[in-house]
Chain A
C-alpha cells in the first residue's frame, strides 16, 4: 500500500483546517476557555463569550441572526431536531410530511420513524438529473402537510435544488420548510434573509471544522416551534440541552469564518479541479457517464458511472484512493446507491459509480494521479471481462 493515499472524499468529511485546529487547541487547555459556559463565574463567562462569537460567525456565513442559530452535535441531530421537532409540535395541525427519495439518511431514517409514529410521508422521486423540481413538490403537498424537507445539495451527486422556488411554494401552502445544507454551506451562497426557509441544518466537519458539532437555523420571523429532542438544562433556548462543547463550537465558528472569507477562492479552486478530473476521466474513458445535473450543482462533487465493470472490483482496485462508492454513511452496505437508482440508473451502473469530492487542500497533481489510476484500473477490469453480449 503506498504511503500517500490521495484523499478525494471531502463530501464524507474534510480535514480540519490548521487555523481551526489551532483555535480549538487554545480552548482545550487550562489557560484556555475550558470552563462550563453555563457557569456563572468568570471562567464560565469567558467560555460563553467564545461560544457567542462562534454563533456570530456561523450566522454570518448564511446571513442569519445570532438568535437563530442553535448548536447541535452535528447535522444528523439538526435534521432530527428539525423534522421530529416540527412534526411533533404541529401534529394536531396535520400529519403529512413531504421529502425526497434522495435525502441523506439522517432525513430518510427520521421520516421512517415518523411513519412508525403515525405520520404519512411522501417521498418525491428526483428527475433524471437528480433534481427535485418545485412542481414535483407542489404536486406532493396536501391540505394536512405540515413540513417539507428538501436538501439543498445532494451528498452523492452534488446537484443543487432551487430551494428559493421550492420554499415559495411550500410557504404559499402554509407548511414549514426545512433544508439540509450540510453539503452546500460555504460552497453555494446562502442568504437566509432572502430565502423562504424556516429550518436549515449545518455541519462542522463538512466544512473543515471538527466532527461532532453542527447547527440548526430556526427562523425567528416564522415563529416555528419545535419539540426538543434532548432535554435537561435548557441550553440553546431550551431547544437543545447538554453542556456546550466550547472547543467544538469555536472550531465550527472559525471554520465558518474562513469559509465566508475564502468562499470565492475555494469555489474557484474546487470547480477547476473538478473540471480537470472530469476532463481527464472522460478523455481516457469516453463511455463514462456523469451522474447528476451538469451545471446546477455544487463545485466539489463529481459522480461518475463506469459502464461494463463490476462496482466492488472498481472500488477495491482504486483502494489507494480515498473515494466513495456512495454516501459514506451507507458505504459499508454493498447494495447499490439508492440515490443513483432513484435517478433511473440500473443496478450495474449504480454499483460501478464513484463519487470523487475535492476540497481546499486537493492539488492538481492529486487529481491527475487519481484520474490516471481510475482510468487504468477501469481499462484493466474491462479487458478482464468477457465481451458484453
Chain B
C-alpha cells in the first residue's frame, strides 16, 4: 500500500512541478498582443458592406439581429437584471441583450484582475474616481469611441453631443468613454435642472421656535447655538446634537468642512485665470475659527468626526441634529422616518455660514464628469453594434424607452405631457423599488447611460419638504464650476502622490484645528500645516491644477 502511495505522490509532485513551471512561463510571457491592433483592422472584417453612413440615420436601426453584450458594472450593489418589461422592449427593438457583470466585493479589485489578465468584458461602466479609470484609457484595451463612431455610426456624434466627447478627450485626440449622469452647463441653464445638492439644513421646528435666527455670520451662528444649548439641548424627548458635518468619518479631510463650506462662503476656484488656493482664504479661516470657538464654548461636539455611518444614519432618522452641513440627498430617505409622528420634525435648507460680504452661496452644480462613464473594450467582437447601442441609449428615444418603457403600456401622453400612467406612479410610490423594478423595469432601473436632465421631465413630483431643499440648491447652483472635480491630481504621478500626502496631513490637522485651545494655537497649527504642505510639494500640485483649470475651462467654454 505504501508503495502505491509513494508512486502516487511522485506522480503528483511531477504534475505540480510542471504546472508551476508552466504557470511561471505563462506569466512572464508577453500576453496582450491582440489589444494593440488599431480599430480599422477589425473594422475591415466586420463591415463588409462599406457604404457611406448617413449621420442623420440612427445606426442601431441598420442591424437588429440578436447580439449579447457582457457589461461590467462598477457597482457591487446593483441587483437588477436584463429580464424586465423595459429590457425586453429594448431587445425587441434593437436586438441587444445585456448580461450585467456585477462584481462581488470591491469592484476596483475585480477590474484590476480583469485588466491584468486581459479579460475585459464587452462593455464597462467604471467610476471616474477609480485608480483604474485613467489606466483604462491609457491601456490600449478599450476602443476610442470617436473612431468607432466614424467607422460605424456617425449618428453617435449627434446624440452624444460635442460637450460629452470633448470632456473626456485625451491628449491623443481620442475619447474613450462616455459619462452617464452628466450635466452640461448649457442644459442646466436651459432647464434649471442641476445636480446641486450641497445644503445647510436646520431642523424646522426648533429653528422656528428660536425665532429663525440669522446664521450667516459667526456671531449669529454662535448665538443660535447658544440659544439651542440653553433651552433645547433636549427637545420632544430626545437629546439634540447641535451640528453634523458630512464627510467627518473620512481620514483625509472632511468634505462638509472643505468644499461645501467654501462653496457656502462663495470662495472662488480661480482668480484672474489663476487657480486660487481656497484654503488660505481669510473667509475660510474666519469660519474654521468660529467652529473652534463654538467647540471651546461647548456649543458643538466633535462627534461627527468619530461617528460611524450607521450611527449618523440613526441620528438623522431621528432628526437628532439641529443643523447640518449635508447634501440634501443624504437626508431624503430619512424624511418619512423622522416626520412620521410629527410633520414639523423635518429639515429645511436655509442660508448658513456666509462670507463677510454676505454673498449668496455658490454650490457645485454638476458637470460632465458624470458618475460611471462607459467604455467599449477591444475584446468586444461586435464593436459596431456596441457603439450603435450606446448612441441609441443616449438619444432622446433611448432615454424615453428606458425611463418610461413602452408607450401605452407604462406611459402615455396625458394632458399633453408624456408621463408614466397613474397606476405606475402609484406603484412607484407604494412598492419597494425592487418590486417596482421587477414589475416594470422603468424609471431608474437602468441608469448606465441615463441623462438626468433629459429624464427629469418624466419624473413624478417630490414631497414638499424635499422640494424646498432642492429649490434652495438649484437657486444657489454655480453653473460655471463644472471643472472643479477635475482639478485634483490623482494616481501615481508625482503631483498625485504629493497631493495624497498633503491630504493625509490635512486629515490629521483639521480636527486639531477645531479642537485647539485658543486662536493662537490654531494659528500655530495652521502655519505648521502650510509649511508642511509646501514641503510635500504643494507647488507641483498647484501647477497641475492650473493646467487642468485651463484645459477644462476651455472644454466648458466651447
| A associates with B | no
Binding site for B on A (CB under 8 A): none
Binding site for A on B (CB under 8 A): none
